[in-house]
Chains A and B, each alone.
Chain A
Amino acid sequence: MRRLTFWLILGTAIALIGLWAGCGGGGNSNEILIGEYSAMTGTTATFGQSTHRGLMMAVDECNAAGGVLGKKIRLLTEDTQSKPEEAATAVTKLITRDGVKAVIGEVSSSRSLAAAPICQANGIPMVSNASTNPEVTKKGDYIFRVCYIDPFQGEVMARFAYNTLGIRKAAILKDIKNDYSIGLAQYFEETFVKLGGQVVATQAYSEGDIDFKAQLTALKSAEPEAVIVPGYYTEAALIVKQARELNMTIPFIGGDGWDSAKLVEIGGQAMNNTFFSTAYTADDPDSIVQNFVTKYTSRYNEKPDAFAALGYDAGLILFDAVRRAGSTDGPALRDALKTTRDVRGVTGSITIDADRNARKPIVIIAVVDGKMTYKETIQP
């Protein structure tokens, strides 16, 4: 009996090793392997789910049209669990074990900053879909992005608060462990002060927190006219909801990290009188956008948010670059990405500048009666 068990275990082990070996090592010659690292689970799971769905659509459309260079695109996805350390692990695995030719991800700047040095060191181009912190593409010449950067977003938020809402005294509540949040808060403050406004109080939290009453109580005593929350939707919804319970009825303003249907699902009517900036709106009458919205809605049964659009666009410029490079070699692909010009994406026309960033318009969304509504578009 014991001997039988031994052979059973040995047999299973050999079978598993065989399976594992079969999975690794570059795929077959009719496929181009592209790696994606994405927050499929954890605190910002809707970002990862959205970008993944957008990217899947880009991949399937590309393959349906015959693929690129006569080969099909095969996407390998790794989950970062919304953690920077997992992002580094995921990208290392994609590059060294799976042998992907390019990497797409992440939404969060902290996670992209953890993964970028690994892509750079291995000479594998990385296209971030939505990391807006300027440091991300400074990690090296293999690192690109399809979204705007935070100095621009922070400036737009400050101008919007000062000019449109007439705010003169603002308070900031930022995520102290998040590069995106710290950067955006800083760029907001720079422009806001230059315009003549005043930041009367600053408080901090960290991702995953659920109680913000202590910080809000401290902010409230400084009597601001608006609170800037450059963070992610989960925390933002809880922050605004708790602020309303503390009888703070002033406007709350956020960045693209707020862009998720969960924001109003969690926050409900408390979210009224809040505003945020983002890359795109499904209400845009442009035919490319509407075409994307129709196809996405029929496939996934929900409206695409900005991250779905950016995920799609990241795939779009990468496949465009592979086509122009005529190969999947790291240096050739990098040079092709650098010369991306006027690719018509869902989030606007994409041109990669000398710093490997994309220049894009910004959309302002207002929450009115528990619904996200389009307010205005600001050109770069």
Chain B
Amino acid sequence: MSELLQQIINGVSMGSIYALIALGYTMVYGILRFINFAHGDVFMIGAFVGFFVAPLMVPLVGGSGLAAAVIIMLVSMAACALLGVTIEKLAYRPLRSRPKLTVLITAIGVSLFLEYGGQLVFGPDPKPFPALIPSTMIVNSSFLVLSSNSLVVIGTALGLMLLLRYIVFHTRMGTAMRAVSFDHRAASLMGINIDSVISFTFALGSALAAAAAILYGSIYPSINPLMGLFPGLKAFVAAVLGGIGNLYVAVIGGLIIGLLETLVTGYISPIYRDAISFAVLILILLFRPSGILGRHEAEKV
């Protein structure tokens, strides 16, 4: 029983990171109807920005601590937001009127560019990600161990999701985003600047990926230029699992994938972990292409 509870905590903290990345996929899909496969690599860049900014915190706020962690996360989020907007401007915007497949292949190209460009610039070997907040034991008994790290990850993820919810549902820009996701042309006839809405969406999604990367780096402190590949794919599965294009269910999808992976690893075998995640993707695409919680196909007609 205590083992199961421990595994669930492990799974939820993994799942909340997947959920943050999945939100980026789902937002871009909601607005542009295409999968931004470079999203996982924006996540990787976020981790490296954190890696390079962290040493600068020592003279500024005296090394590690809450203030340093918050500054590092904000800098990384800002840098990735800028990167996301730039990628969209340079690589996707010129192809917006072309078939979706063209943009998709370009996204894969951008992804490879970031991965291998990253190997060139950062070096191919894994780098140690600094410990931002010293981890302490909150609960420490033979029954259960709960470190502050897990709580910080889950708490920060939850906070960011609530912030996103506020932006999307209670601001003018959020309203514009939802309008564009319904119908580009109608929205632009209503005076919405489509380009700036799309840029904003990329900025928002990329910033969330950067936040996820900082959380990820602080619990798995080994980062390398190819680190975005698997979390990116898993978050993509999570987004599809929930029903891509919908914010709430992307979060639920992330948690389901995180829990599923941890339980499969703990109770069956780690060999099947990735296989089961991707089998879920195939089954969902075959039987419920709009996601387990997505609207039924018939309602769309």
List chain A positions with a Cβ less than 8 A from chain B.
40-43, 45-46, 49, 176-177, 203-206, 208-211, 213-215, 217-218, 221, 234, 237-238, 241-242, 245-247, 262, 265-266, 268
By the criterion CB–CB under 8 Å, are A238 and B3 in contact? no
Given contact pairs A215-B270, A262-B125, A42 touches B10 in the complex (Cβ within 8 A): no
Q: For A208, give its contact among B125, B137, B230, B269 (CB under 8 Å).
A: B230
Contacts A217-B7, A217-B10, A245-B147: A238 and B124 contacting too (C-beta < 8 A)? no
Q: Output the least CB separation between B5 and chain A (Å).
A: 10
Q: Which of B156-164, B195-203, B220-228 contacts A (4 or more CB under 8 A)?
A: B220-228
User: How many chain B residues touch A (Cβ–Cβ < 8 Å)?
Assistant: 36
Q: In the assembled complex, how far is the CB of residue A221 from the closest CB belonging to chain B, in whole angstroms?
A: 5
> Is B135's CB within 8 Å of the partner chain A?
yes
Measured between C-beta atoms, what is the minimum distance from A210 to chain B in Å? Answer: 4
A237 and B125 alpha carbons, distance in the complex (Å):
14
How far is the CB of B169 from the nearest CB of chain A, in Å?
33
Q: Assuming A213-B262, A214-B10, A217-B6, is B222 touching A238 (CB within 8 A)?
A: yes
Q: Is B126 interfacial (CB 8 A cutoff)?
A: yes
A321 vs B3: C-alpha distance when bound (angstroms): 57
Closest to B220 in A: A210
Cβ A41 vs Cβ B124 within 8 A: yes
Q: Which of A45, A206, A246, A268 contacts B270 (CB 8 A)?
A: A206
B126→A204 contact, CB < 8 A:
no
Q: List 5 A-B contacts (CB under 8 A).
A: A42-B124, A213-B7, A262-B128, A266-B221, A268-B131
B137 and A247: CB pair below 8 A? yes
Q: Which of A176, A234, A262, A266 has the most chain B CB atoms inside 10 A of its CB?
A: A266
A213 touches B271 (CB 8 A): no
- In whole angstroms, how far apart are the Cα atoms of A203 and B149 in the complex? 24
Closest Cβ of chain A: how far from B18's Cβ, in Å? 11
Knowing A214-B266, A238-B220, A245-B135, the reply to whether A40 touches B124 (Cβ < 8 A) is: yes
Query: How far is B227's CA from A238's CA once the two chains are assembled, in angstroms?
Result: 14
Residues on A with beta carbons closer than 8 Å to the beta carbon of B10? 211, 213-214, 217
Closest 5 CB pairs of A and B: A41-B124, A214-B266, A214-B265, A45-B125, A213-B10
B119 touching A217, Cβ below 8 Å: no
Q: Does B97 contact A (CB under 8 A)?
A: no
CB of A48, distance to nearest CB on chain B (Å) = 9
Q: Does B28 contact A (CB under 8 A)?
A: no
Question: What distance in Å separates the Cβ of B256 from its nearest Cβ neighbour in chain A?
Answer: 16
Are B222 and A204 in touch, CB under 8 angstroms? no
Contact code string B224-250 (vs A, CB < 8 Å = 1, else 0):
101100100000000000000000000
| Closest B residue by C-beta to A221 | B3
* CB-defined contacts of B7 to chain A, threshold 8 Å: 213-214, 217
Q: B9's closest neighbor in chain A, by CB?
A: A213
Whether A266 contacts B126 in the complex (CB less than 8 A), given A221-B3, A247-B145, comes out as yes
Residue interface bits B112-154, CB-to-A below 8 A is 1, else 0: 0000000100001110100100010100100001010100000
Cross-interface CB contact of B124 among A45, A266, A268, cutoff 8 Å = A45
Give complex CA distance A205, B274 in Å. Answer: 11
Is B14's beta carbon under 8 Å from chain A?
Answer: yes
CA A238 – CA B216 in complex, angstroms?
A: 12
Neighbouring A residues of B6 by C-beta, 8 Å: 213, 217, 246
Contact in complex: A42, B226 (CB < 8 Å): yes
Q: Mark B1-16, 1 if CB is under 8 A from A, else 0.
A: 0110011001100100
Q: How far is the CA of A42 from the CA of B118 in the complex (A)?
A: 12
**B265, A241: Cβ atoms under 8 Å?**
no
Closest to B265 in A: A214
> A237 vs B131: C-alpha distance in the bound complex, in angstroms?
14
If A218-B3, A242-B219, A246-B145 are given as contacts, then 7 extra A-B residue pairs at C-beta distance below 8 Å, sorted by A number, are A43-B126, A214-B11, A215-B265, A217-B10, A238-B221, A245-B147, A262-B128
Do B125 and A265 have beta carbons less than 8 Å apart? no
Contact of A241 among B3, B119, B221 (CB under 8 A): B221
Q: Which of B3, B10, B131, B267 has the most CB atoms of chain A within a 10 A radius of its CB? A: B10
In the complex, the answer to whether B222 meets A237 with C-beta atoms within 8 Å is yes
Contact call A41/B119, Cβ cutoff below 8 A: yes
B226:A215 contact, CB within 8 angstroms = no
Partner of A210, one of B222, B263, B266, B269: B222
- Chain A residue at minimum C-beta to C-beta distance from B17: A211
Partner of A266, one of B2, B222, B262: B222
- Residues of B with C-beta under 8 A to A203: 270
Q: How far is the CB of B20 from chain A (nearest CB, A)?
A: 16
A41 CA to B116 CA in the complex, in Å?
Answer: 10
Whether B125 contacts A204 by the Cβ 8 Å rule is no
Q: How far is the CA of A43 from the CA of B125 in the complex (A)?
A: 7
